Chain A
């Protein structure tokens, strides 16, 4: 799904439809229609709000009902026990639900392993625990809460019309929020988190914060739906409010409609909601539930992408982005791209001090002491080679410097400032970028969007020019012609260069390349070496981890040799290679 192309057709249609729907009460249609439409708005709002976190970021929540229920009971309590006016209680209910979400998120979003799984199961449990709590405290206590005595302001001529209008308003807010998020920085970050959270974090996306925000928005809207619904039913009980219905239905509606699209859940809600209207109350409700569950299973197994994306692919008439991409990029032969127009930063002053200093860095994994007091400096504007046998700690060092692993001891300073304690996205924003040994592009984003993301969350990011920036770096890496291809369609060489473009788009002061030449043919290696030199000439300092000795000797100003987690030599490349300790420990005497 392209995020960077702006289609105007769909939002315009939705806006017109919403406006028309607001006028329905004035048409004095029978209450039945208002009821039916209200139910549609209810499900549209619930499914769309669920999707903002669960669909966009792939953190599946099975407890959406908890937030709905929190909203229901917040309003019930506020209006009946605390005398708060109904309309005022709606945003308060939304707030309560959002706080609940933030509480859950604070606990589970920080985990490193099993995040997604635990989140799903935890949210499933939350709903039932909340139900128990409400059942056993004065909030409900057992008999349920009557809202019939609560005054309902007359907004549209009759009570049912008022509820209708409120329901519609919240649905519109939900869809508008989904649209806004999908086209914002937040949405871009969420989509990246969906594909690869660790890489997103390393590219500067504040993953924890974004997940919390998305979760709060999602829960808040559900809470608002609950608030209005409390008034609609006017008698709330724990049993009715906290069932498995909502969690189940919102999942199916979003899965059916398409979880990556802002309109997907709404489409799914309309399809499912309309078909379910036949099953109301009594035994039919149970059968309906079973049918929905079976439908969910069938859809997951047979239509994994959902209806909307499938339709988008097949049709293309109404919803396809109408804006044509700006002038087709000229076919740039690889490595022939010009040096970028103006240098991004002044050349390093001779005595400006080292850019990166690692002092006594230690890192262990269980019993394995991967880094034992690593001591090295990277001077401004140089290409520093980092070599050593596999297992000597090179990738670990990159992971520690980038913040992916915390260091156990020692300090890491960038530009004189300690960064060892910072989260990866902060390190990225301070100007350190890295590539991955095995490329890890965001699988559902096009090549261009991958670079746009890095440009958006890197340093010196200027909103207006992000797309142009991204396009520039893509051309620089020779991938201009493949801008709209998905990473899966690129070969290894292209994916590696995409990694490079992505890293560069963040304007790093320090670029750490992790075995970027591995797997390339000699011609491709020549191109890559030339490209790396141009990157340095443009002002970026480079830490170059590599096995290919020829390239290392060609490119590097200085060389550091790592063995068993410690630096055993550093200095001018050819001297280092002649150091007997290096020769015996690493080269094994087989190189001349």
Chain B
């Protein structure tokens, strides 16, 4: 479904990603883990085509999208749930959701999609007229996920959904992601919380200092001492 081949991405003259390759098969749930500043958000923004790719190729659903724009990716069925949510804070919950289905292919099904989102997140239904900026972190994360679902995505790019959320809320969010995956949507999950990420996914990549340093199934990665010590804590 998604294939990144030897991507080089940078900001101005400062390179941020070197030779990054990864793949997500249709229906798979894959994670990229690593410390803050490793370049995870840079990677997901490059895949969402919000950042230019200097070298390398990106393919989605069989087509080369290395030079595509963010809108193009959206129209092809990629939905982004960015780090920090980045909702339209001055607009209501319902307006945020409706804007999620802006792309032509999703507009027709807007009403049904909205009802489904409200069924999944009753709290959003309750607060449909509330301004997004006044909601709590957890509620905003729900709304960000809901907004993404409104676009009828084939693939979700989820960037650090646990950031800033209380652990109980994090549990809910991950349960939701699992549910969405079960419905057939491919998922690329960027996470700093290694435990939760490895519990959820089928495969993972480890990004450190802008490079992929390890990859494999969760059990394999958990067994590697370097990763365990650095990320799971000395007594994990």
Query: Which residues of A approach B to under 8 Å, CB–CB?
Result: 366-368, 389-391, 488-489, 491-492, 515, 518-522, 547, 549-550, 563, 584-592
Contact = CB atoms under 8 A, between A and B. Distances in A.
Interface in B168-204: 168, 170-171, 193, 195-196
A366 B134 CA distance: 8
B233 A389 contact: no
A389 B196 contact: no
Contacts of A584: 167-168
Contact of A519 (B36, B164, B168): B36
B166 interface: yes
B35 A520 contact: yes
A475 to B, nearest CB: 23
7 contacts: A391-B164, A492-B37, A519-B38, A522-B35, A584-B167, A590-B195, A592-B233
From B35, B163, B170, B196, residue with most partner A Cβ within 10 Å: B35
Given A488-B12, A519-B35, A588 B164 contact: no
Interface in B140-169: 163-168
A519 to B, nearest CB: 2
Given A367-B134, A518-B37, A590 B230 contact: no
Contact of A587 (B12, B38, B164, B167): B167
Given A367-B134, A389-B165, A588 B35 contact: no
Contacts of A491: 14
A550 B234 contact: yes
Interface string B87-125: 000000000000000000000000000000000000000
Contact of A589 (B14, B38, B165, B167): B167
Contacts of B52: none
B126 interface: no
A132 B171 CA distance: 67
A521 B35 contact: yes
Given A366-B134, A368-B134, A489-B13, A586 B167 contact: yes
Interface of B: 12-14, 35-38, 133-134, 137, 163-168, 170-171, 193, 195-196, 208-209, 230, 233-236
A390 B164 contact: yes
A371 to B, nearest CB: 16
Nearest to A517: B36
Contacts of A592: 233, 235-236
Top-4 shortest CB links A-B: A519-B37, A588-B167, A390-B164, A518-B36
Nearest to B192: A547
A588 B12 contact: no
A367 B134 CA distance: 7
A551 B153 CA distance: 40
A312 B134 CA distance: 51
Nearest to A585: B166
A387 to B, nearest CB: 13
Contact of A390 (B163, B167, B230): B163
A9 B12 CA distance: 34
A585 B167 CA distance: 6
B164 A389 contact: yes
Nearest to A592: B235
A564 B163 CA distance: 14
Contacts of A588: 166-168, 170-171
B64 to A, nearest CB: 31
Contacts of A547: 36
A391 to B, nearest CB: 4
Contact of A522 (B13, B163, B195, B230): B230
A112 to B, nearest CB: 19
